Structure 1
Amino acid sequence: MSKITVENLSIKFRIYHDRSPSLKDYFANLFTGNRPAAYSDFWAVRDVSVEFRSGDRVGIVGHNGAGKSTLLKALCRVYESSQGKVRVDGRVAPLLEIGAGFHPEFTGRENIYLNGSILGYTDAQLRLIEPEVIAFAELEEFIDTPVKYYSTGMYMRLAFSLATAVHPDILVLDEIFAGGDAAFMERATARMYQMIDQANIMIMVSHDHRLVSSLCNRVIWMDHGRLVRDGAPDEVIPEYLGRGAHA
């Protein structure tokens, strides 16, 4: 059974200040000891404890900078915790920054293996799914062309097709996106719904509250890095829209 346990999770980023003092200010600060701080710490997630179990379809809402995407990346091991723990039981498919691992000089086929290894697939798995990835992306004619010559739609079709090729135990989505023409968008949307249906756990971030309401049986509201509410969509979303969306 798939499960994610988050215990007292906090994630801190160090923000460096680009200060270029004049020579006069430098010597004045040197002798007075009044040196400005070179950096400050920002807590993107603060003391979050939550559990996700099989059957959960969870939407995470909150204003920009609330810590939603940072929390997702912690679940996917992109970010390490500064404090607390994250325990994941099950295979995770992170659809966060689709195509982020592509190399522009490599062909589409080469990028399947490069990006696939980043996503955690073995060479044997990639050999099995390669034909289906290429066919779904409709790139048979261009698969051995360097992706730097691809249009944006072609690039995103390949990235989406690879990222969704294997059905995971745990599906993590950050602002569902698929690039391409209307026909591809229709097929991509159908595949996304199929993946959501087949995943044991689905966790998503989206600003589309109607989509969250339609797909999720649970909603988490985050604000300034902290978990504010965790409950049913028809309870949490109206409260967020009434009090939190413009906070």
Structure 2
Amino acid sequence: MARLSLSNVTVQYPVYNSRSFSLRNHLVRVSTGGRIESEAGQVNVVTALKDVSFELKNGDAVALIGHNGAGKSTMLRTLAGVYTPISGTIVREGRVSTMLELGAGIDGELSGYENITRMGVLLGMSLKEIEAHTADIEDFCQLGEFLELPVRTYSSGMSTRLMFAVATTVQPDILLVDEIFGMGDAEFQINAKKRMEALLQSVGIFVFATHNNELVERYCNRFFRLEHGTVREIERSEAVTA
């Protein structure tokens, strides 16, 4: 059974060498949506998430809602274990798979095949599992002989297809996704939606950051609004009109 539990979680990090207070405010607003808590010389401490508590269980499909910079990506990275809270506790039960940003886990100097292995290992797959799923990854990403070439030779759309194919090959208990449906061409987005819908049948917990009301209604049954480092659960009607 999948479970994600946050208790009084606070995430902070410094912003160094900003040239003016107004610039620091701008950096905070566009990057985290958090608050400046203190200032010491050239360093500001930004609170990206403050005293966040909630619990997700098997069957929860969560939409993270908020303006650009509200902290949605910070929340996903915290849930994934990329960011470590300065206080509070996080409990994760189950295998976690993430689609957080284009190029995450990809090494441009390695070939497509080598990156399949690299990303699979980062997602917690064994080499045996990666080998067993390689044919499916090849079929979905449709990169053919390009898989033999360094990924730095790929277009952004090709990299997206490769990353998405690997990430959705894993059968996770917890799936964390950041605006993946806004990437790639129209054909890829159609195929990605079909693949995602099939994957969601087996996922225990799904957390999805998006601005798309159609996708919120289609995939999610719980809705969290993020604003300036705070998180509150809202009703579906409020979520789809946000």
Partner residue of 2:24? none
Partner residue of 2:100? 96
Partner residue of 1:27? none
Task: Find out whether 1:213 has 2:217 as its counterpart.
Answer: yes
- Give distance in 1, aligned partners of 2:214 and 2:156: 28
Asked if the contact 1:160–1:178 (Cα under 8 Å) also holds between the matched residues in 2, the reply is no
Instruction: Give the alignment partner of residue 235 of structure 2, picking from 232, 236, 243.
Output: 232
- What's the secondary structure of 1:113's corresponding residue? helix
Asked if the contact 2:96–2:123 (Cα under 8 Å) also holds between the matched residues in 1, the reply is no
Asked if the contact 2:112–2:147 (Cα under 8 Å) also holds between the matched residues in 1, the reply is yes
Structure-2-length-normalised TM-score: 0.85
Partner residue of 2:9? 9
Q: By how many angstroms is 1:98 displaced?
A: 3.7
Task: Report 1:193-212 matches (<5 A).
Answer: 193-212=197-216
Alpha-carbon distance change, 159 to 40 in structure 1, aligned in 2, over 3 angstroms: same
- Give distance in 2, aligned partners of 1:152 and 1:73: 22
Q: Which residue identity does 1:53 align to in structure 2?
A: K
Task: Find out whether 1:82 has 2:86 as its counterpart.
Answer: yes
| Further displaced range: 70-79 or 10-19 | 10-19
Asked if the contact 2:181–2:189 (Cα under 8 Å) also holds between the matched residues in 1, the reply is no
Structure 1: which 5+ residue stretches go unaligned?
21-35, 242-247
Alpha-carbon distance change, 179 to 48 in structure 1, aligned in 2, over 3 angstroms: closer
Partner residue of 1:108? 112
Question: Identity over aligned residues, as a percent?
Answer: 38
Partner residue of 1:28? none
Partner residue of 1:174? 178
Task: Find out whether 1:123 has 2:127 as its counterpart.
Answer: yes
Q: Which structure: larger Rg?
A: 1
Instruction: Give the alignment partner of residue 62 of structure 2, picking from 53, 58, 61.
Output: 58
Per-residue CA distance 1:166-203 (angstroms, 9 max, x = gap) = 12111111112375444333222100111223211111
Partner residue of 2:189? 185
- Give distance in 2, aligned partners of 1:204 and 1:66: 14
- Give distance in 1, aligned partners of 2:57 and 2:137: 30
Q: Which residue identity does 2:4 align to in structure 1?
A: I
- Give distance in 2, aligned partners of 1:66 and 1:154: 29
Q: By how many angstroms is 1:216 displaced?
A: 1.0
